Each structure stands twice: as C-alpha cells, then as structure tokens.
Structure 1
Amino acid sequence: MDPEVRPEVVLTDFDPDGEVKVVAAALYAASSLADDQLLNAASKMTTQERARVLAAYVGDRRNRRHKPGRAFERTSYRFDVVCDYGAFRDLQRHRLLTIEWQSLGTSLGFELPPEIEAAGILEDWEAVMHQAAGLHEAMVDAGLGPAAQYAVPMAYKVRFYLDLNAREAMHLIELRTTPQGHPVYRRVSQQMHRLIAEGAGHRAIAEAMRFVDHSRVDLERLEAERRIEAKRAALGSSGSSGP
C-alpha cells in the first residue's frame, strides 16, 4: 500500500462529544453533582450556553501564560503531520503530549524556504538537497539504514503524529504561532487550531485559545528585508557614481 497524498496536517482522531465533556469538567469543582450528572446536564445545553460556561471558566486571560484549568484535559486530539525535520524537532520538545515519528528519509520531499529563491541560490540549494538524497539512498542500499538518517538535511520532511489534550494544545498552539516563531511550525500550529474549530467542531475550545496568531508575518518579514536590501543597493549605486 502506498501512502496517500494528504494535507500537511490531518486531524485523525477526536471525541465528537469532547467539548461537552470539557464543559461538564469545568462545572465539577463548583458543583455538588456527580460527574455523570454534570455530563448529562452539559449535553442538554445549547451551543451558546456551553460557550458561555467555557468563557467564564477560562476567565480574562491577559496573556498566553495564563492557563485554563484541568477541565481542558478532558478531551484530546490526534494529528498526523508531515513537515520539515527542523520544525519537527521544535515540536518534539513539548513534553505533555504523545509524539511518535517515522524514519527520516527523502521520499516526502523537502521544504523550500522563500528566502532561498529570493537570495538567488535556488539552483545551488536544490543541487545540495539532491546530492544528500543520493547519499542517503546509497547508505540505505549498503545496509546502513539508521545511520543514513544523518545524511538527510533538516529541510527534508518527516511524518509524525501528535496526540494531546486540549489544555496542552492551547499551550503548544499559542506558543508556536507567535510571530517570532519559525514559519513552518507556525503554519502547522495554525492548521491544528483551525482543525480543532472546524474539523472537530470544538469552536468554544478553539476560541478559548485567544492568543493564537494567524498572521502571515513570515511574508511581511521577507518583504521588509527585500525593501531594506533594495535601499542598500540604491545607496551603494548612488555613492559609487562619479561626476
């Protein structure tokens, strides 16, 4: 069986009743009812009522370091991701989740940063990447499969899954979408947030992640760098011209 062509991030598993369960868990500490009674009550609420409960539970978060309570641990999401190895290594650093990955190779292709083409070195970049792929293949053919991974540049893509509850999802997604972050893991995290809202239908949980940044700062930064370089070139040419 060959791998299917998939989007970069796929939501492969979630609990359709997850948001209802989070609402019930949010009410637990402030109630005298049993867990299953609260779950039954939450299931009878309207979408708007559940959203109001979660908004009150989360409270007035002033920054992303203000975390919600443990009720958000009541539901989980599982994402299958294909992205470059460098971004994977940053996401791998998160501890309060389950992450598993496949062997690093070259069959999934590589990420092409826009800065490479802007710098005029696309041909050299692609030549190096293809040379690395050839070396990797030669090492695999020689029976050096595990060691062959060390010949693969970090721009090549790897497949992995992330399994995490909504509380950890809030931490990861809000942190990894900050404008200072790497464009690839920002893009992955932004897609995770959209999938929680639209794929799982857990819009109230997604809205609680109020510090998720969906801006395209990578493109803005690139354009700013191009403008600066153009100004430098203009100043250089004007300074070198004689009478």
Structure 2
Amino acid sequence: MSDVQTTAPANETDVYAIHGADPEVLAYAMAKYSRSALTLRESLAEISAQKAEQFLNTFYFAYGHRSIADLAHVAFAIERLSLLAAISLVDEPRWDGQERSTRYQNFRKSGYYKPRFESIQSADEYTKCVDALFDGYTEVGEGMLAELKAHTARPEGMDEASYTRTLKARAYDMARYLLPLATNTSLGQITNARTLEGQIARLLGSDYAEIRDLGEKLRAAAAGPAWNVNHGAAGEILEEIRTMDADLAARAGEHLLREVRTSPTLVKYTSPSEFQAKSRPVLRQAARELMGEAAIEPMPADSPNVELISPPAGEAMSLEIDLAASLLYPHTHYRFRQVRDAVASLSEVRIAELIELGLEHRGRHDELPRAFAAANGLRFDILMDIGGFRDMHRHRRCTQLLQACTTVHGYDVPDFPGQPHVSVSPVFARYTELVERAFGFHGNVTGVDVPAAAVATTPKLSAHSPAPVPVPQFGEGGVRMAWGAPLAGKTQAAVAPVDGTSVADYVLPLATRCRSLFTMDFAEAVYISELRSTPAGHWSYRNVAWQMYREVARAYPSLAKHFRIRDPHEPIDLLQR
C-alpha cells in the first residue's frame, strides 16, 4: 500500500477568504503582491495601520497609483436623505447598494427634507404643498385600492390579508407618483475607495446644499470611527474574561474594541471637483449659444418614451459630433437628436472647440468626463416619469447622462393597461390638483412660466400638464396605443438650456417627466429589456423596456429574435406579483 500524501503539492493553487482586516490595510496588503513575494497572510501579519498610511501617501497620492483604492471596499448606511439627493448619490457607474422600495414600504412615515428658502412665505407654501402631496399619496393609494378591489374579485383559496396586500402594492404603484423629491429615503452602499473618492468630490460640487452636506458626511464617515457590529458581543466577552484575568482582558480589549477607521487616508484630500465646477458653466453657456430659443421637439409618435440614436451612415466626424453633443446634452432639456443635429451643422473647427471646452480644465488625476463614454454603442434617449427612471437608474453596465429636474416635459398620470385608471377614478381631480399645485409652486419660485392647462381634445389628454411632448391614450376594452399631438404652447424653460438648480425642485412629484441618455452594448440592451418587461414590474419601466426592444428591432431586425421579452400591453393577473 502506497504512502498517503500528507502535504499539498508545491504548485497547488491556494484559495482563502479574508475577514477582519481594515479596508485600507487590506488594500495595502493586496497591492504588495506587485512588490513582494509574501503571501497575503504574511503581509497582513506585518502591516500596521501606520505602515498602510505611509504606503498609500507615497504610492496613491504621490505616484498616482489610483488602482490601489479599487482594493479597499467600504460599506455605508445613509439614512434620512431626500429622494433628490439619493438620485445624485447613486449616480455612479461603479456602485453597489440597495434603497428603500416605494412599492413595499409606506413612505408617508418617512418625513421629508426642508430646504432653505429666501422668504418665509415660500418656505411656508413649500411645507403646505409637500404636506398636501403626502395627504394625496394616501388618498390616491386608498382610493385606487378600492377601485382595484371592485375590478378584481378575491379568488377562492386566497385569504383576505394576501388579497389586500397584493392589490395594495399595485395601488401604491400609482400613488407613488405623488411622492415629492423631498421625501426621505434610506439606502446602503458598498463601494471601493476610488469610487468613493470620486463620489464625494462630485457631491461636494453639487448646486444643492443637502447634497454638498451629504458629501461632507460621507467623507467624515470614511475618515472617522466606524460603527462596529461586534462591539456589543465583544464587551460581554471581555467582562467574563476580566473576572478571571484583568490583564488578559485589557490586552484583548485593545484588539476587540479598538477604533476602526475604514478609509482615513484615501479620502482625506477629497475636495470639490475643480474640473466639474469650471467645466459646468462654460458648457451651459455653449449649449445656450448653440440652441438659442429653439422649442423642444416632441419624441417620435410611435416611440414617445424612447429614441434610439443612430448617426447617419457615412457621416464625416461622426464620433466628434457625438462627443460634443454628449458634453452639451446634460446642460439642456432637449432631445439628444436635437442637440446632435445642431452640433452637426457646425464647422469642424467649432465642433473641435466644443470638445476642447469639455477638457480644458482637466487636472492631472481627473478622469475624462462621463460624456466621453456615452458616444459609442446603443444609445437610448429616454423620457419618462422620475419614479420609473429611478428603477432604470439602477442599471450599472451602461453610461447614463442625466438632465436636470424640470417641469417643461409635463407629468404622467398612472393609467396602466388592464387595471382601473386614475383618470376615470374618483381621485383623479385630487391627483391633478396636487401635481399642478406643485408645478405652480415650482414656477413661482424659479420664474419659469408653466401655462395653465390647455383645452384637451379628450378627457385623457387633460390628465397631463401642457408640455411639447406626446402623451399616451388608452382605449376602452383592451389597450389601444395612440399618441396625441403635443399640447399648444411652450414654456420659458423649453426654449433655453437649464441654468442650474433650485430648492423648489424638492417639491416636484415622481410623476414629473425627466430626460436621460443611456448608452450600452447589445448584451445590456437585451438584459434591461428582458428584465424590465416582466409582468411583475412597474408599468412605467415595462413600457420603456418594450420601446427599447422595438427601437432595436426596427434598426437591426435580424437581432430582434434574441430578445425574450413580454409585451406590457398583454393582460396580466393583477394578483400575481
């Protein structure tokens, strides 16, 4: 019988998980692989926090080896921030986290953010307007629950609690359209230190005071003592040890109860991005000069929420045009195609100047602007309600360019196929009253003129505020998608790029339409279309996912067969989630 081998072969791969090392110490230990033959166990055994700080000061800050920060991952809890701030916080391509769901939680209890207004009168009106929106959130939710129950009978075998809970989720899918951007939410995020550094720098440069303060708090949380989930149990154990050996307990306490700072070195020099701060006003001015007083063109009638951007075949300087248009797009309220057409009409010299504007303030360690990653691939210009956009915003394998909040695109009414419509319900008048009150307050504070509702050709059209974009019509007895003509008139903000932000933005409800550009590869287009079109999803993003698929199928018909997608207009079982 042969001898049993008791040691592993010298060339056998060794794999082990790591737990308990501070994020920066672990980053240093992993970085040592490039400069040392030590194993990670050996490196961690010899590294102290002081050595890690010395190493990072030399190689991260002095030599610019920023990839080291990719190895330090930090978890944060961020609680009681507004929905508006949450949108800005999570707007990172390399971000992982989870936020409170507007579908499964009652946001009436969340409270809301109160910005500072220049006048007491505006502050009082803001409070009244937001309080009314929260009241309406409950009224519409309960009103549509009654409509859903009248529409959908409880089947045998389903208990009353499950029946009500399932339909209540659908009712509050509609009610959430009234939640203002001031609504408090909470989320958790896990990011590497490099993403965190860029995130903090971006937040510190925000036009909103709340978001700047959020950047400061993130930096302080990363540099200061972290909350240790094991402290309570460790304290109890130390008390037991102390009864037997006080010296041993003291030595153990130095380790078990020591103060941990998750990322004190990597974020200590973080400051507002000068690149961003200097580039923003010049790009806004360039957009203003380029677009002049042009009205916002409506989206295509057969795809009113999604437009696939395809440059003309054989176009000269196609990439340069796309780069310049991507730089200007976030500083306007225009369709991407409209901005692109304006750029394409310029001379080669002028197009090159626009690209240079986006780079002239770039510092030594500044990455290229996100717009430079948005000029290739499948690009979808998307116009949808803010509530639905927040679900789409979670997709990370794509580049997203967001335009600022505005009232110029109007708002949506949650009329979903196959279930009772808000627009023919007893709560419809209350719904429109509250949204238009919020829009009116926003206009009074910002000075942007939002005209009174125009006379509509059908009752459904009157559910939408005036905006130069098409609005959906749903026929009786099944779904008939028809798209009405844009309502007459245009707003002051519709004819000029946005100049900045306002504290009044917090009053805008999730029904407000917003515009964004999503750039992705084919695999991500298939993934988003398939995932977001499933019957369990919200109608808003199901509709957008369907239109993304239709746009790709129109442009590349041979690829349409690779989408496993559900038509959101098909009837669904309202009691299935």
State if a TM-score over 0.5 links the two structures.
yes
Aligned to 1:109: 111
Aligned to 2:134: 133
Aligned to 1:18: 23
Task: Extract unaligned runs of 5+ from structure 1.
Answer: 1-13, 214-243
Report runs of 4+ in structure 1 exceeding 6 Å deviation.
none
Structure 1 counterpart of 2:200, one-letter code: I
Q: CA deviation at 1:86?
A: 0.8
Aligned to 2:221: 195
Q: Distance in 1 between matches of 2:67 and 2:59?
A: 8
Moved more, 98-107 or 202-211: 202-211
1:211 to 247, 260, 270: 270
**Alpha-carbon displacement from aligned partner over 1:75-130 (angstroms, at most 9, x marks no partner):** 32232322111111112221312122213423221111112x53631221111111
Sequence identity (%): 16
Q: Distance in 2 between matches of 1:76 and 1:123?
A: 40
Aligned to 2:178: 151
Q: Distance in 1 between matches of 2:192 and 2:260?
A: 13
Q: CA deviation at 1:203?
A: 5.2
1:52 to 51, 54, 74: 54
Q: CA deviation at 1:73?
A: 2.2
Q: TM-score, normalised by structure 1?
A: 0.69
**Alpha-carbon displacement from aligned partner over 1:167-219 (angstroms, at most 9, x marks no partner):** 221121122112x4422122222112111221235658333321235xxxxxx
Residue 196 of structure 1 contacts residue 202 of structure 1 at CA under 8 Å; is this kept in 2?
no
Q: Distance in 1 between matches of 2:179 and 2:193?
A: 33
Question: In 2 relative to 1, CA 22–99 (structure 1 residues): closer, same or farther, beyond 3 Å?
Answer: same
Residue 98 of structure 1 contacts residue 163 of structure 1 at CA under 8 Å; is this kept in 2?
yes
Residue 27 of structure 2 contacts residue 71 of structure 2 at CA under 8 Å; is this kept in 1?
yes
Question: In 2 relative to 1, CA 170–67 (structure 1 residues): closer, same or farther, beyond 3 Å?
Answer: farther
1:186 to 212, 231, 235: 212
**Alpha-carbon displacement from aligned partner over 1:26-74 (angstroms, at most 9, x marks no partner):** 32212222222222221xx3x432211111121337xxxx671145423
Aligned to 2:91: 93
Aligned to 1:162: 189
Q: 1:132 is paired with a residue of what secondary structure? A: helix
Question: In 2 relative to 1, CA 33–15 (structure 1 residues): closer, same or farther, beyond 3 Å?
Answer: closer
Residue 21 of structure 1 contacts residue 75 of structure 1 at CA under 8 Å; is this kept in 2?
no
Q: 2:263 is paired with a residue of what secondary structure? A: helix
Q: CA deviation at 1:145?
A: 0.8
Q: Distance in 2 between matches of 1:175 and 1:48?
A: 29
Q: 2:78 is paired with a residue of what secondary structure? A: strand
Residue 204 of structure 2 contacts residue 212 of structure 2 at CA under 8 Å; is this kept in 1?
yes
Question: In 2 relative to 1, CA 38–52 (structure 1 residues): closer, same or farther, beyond 3 Å?
Answer: same
Residue 24 of structure 1 contacts residue 39 of structure 1 at CA under 8 Å; is this kept in 2?
yes
Aligned to 2:122: 121
Q: Distance in 1 between matches of 2:65 and 2:212?
A: 20
Q: CA deviation at 1:137?
A: 0.5
Aligned residues: 191
Residue 73 of structure 2 contacts residue 190 of structure 2 at CA under 8 Å; is this kept in 1?
no
Structure 2 counterpart of 1:111, one-letter code: Y
Q: Distance in 2 between matches of 1:205 and 1:160?
A: 20
Q: Distance in 2 between matches of 1:125 and 1:204?
A: 39
Q: 1:206 is paired with a residue of what secondary structure? A: coil
Residue 75 of structure 1 contacts residue 165 of structure 1 at CA under 8 Å; is this kept in 2?
yes
Question: In 2 relative to 1, CA 208–77 (structure 1 residues): closer, same or farther, beyond 3 Å?
Answer: same
Q: Distance in 2 between matches of 1:110 and 1:67?
A: 41
Aligned to 1:174: 201
Question: In 2 relative to 1, CA 19–133 (structure 1 residues): closer, same or farther, beyond 3 Å?
Answer: same
Residue 106 of structure 1 contacts residue 157 of structure 1 at CA under 8 Å; is this kept in 2?
no
Aligned to 2:391: none
Q: 1:148 is paired with a residue of what secondary structure? A: helix
Q: Distance in 2 between matches of 1:22 and 1:149?
A: 42
Structure 2 counterpart of 1:136, one-letter code: Y
Aligned to 1:31: 36
Q: 1:207 is paired with a residue of what secondary structure? A: coil
Q: Distance in 2 between matches of 1:204 and 1:53?
A: 16
Q: 1:59 is paired with a residue of what secondary structure? A: helix
Q: Distance in 1 between matches of 2:133 and 2:65?
A: 43
Structure 1 counterpart of 2:264, one-letter code: A
Structure 2 counterpart of 1:78, one-letter code: F
Q: 1:114 is paired with a residue of what secondary structure? A: coil
Q: 1:208 is paired with a residue of what secondary structure? A: coil
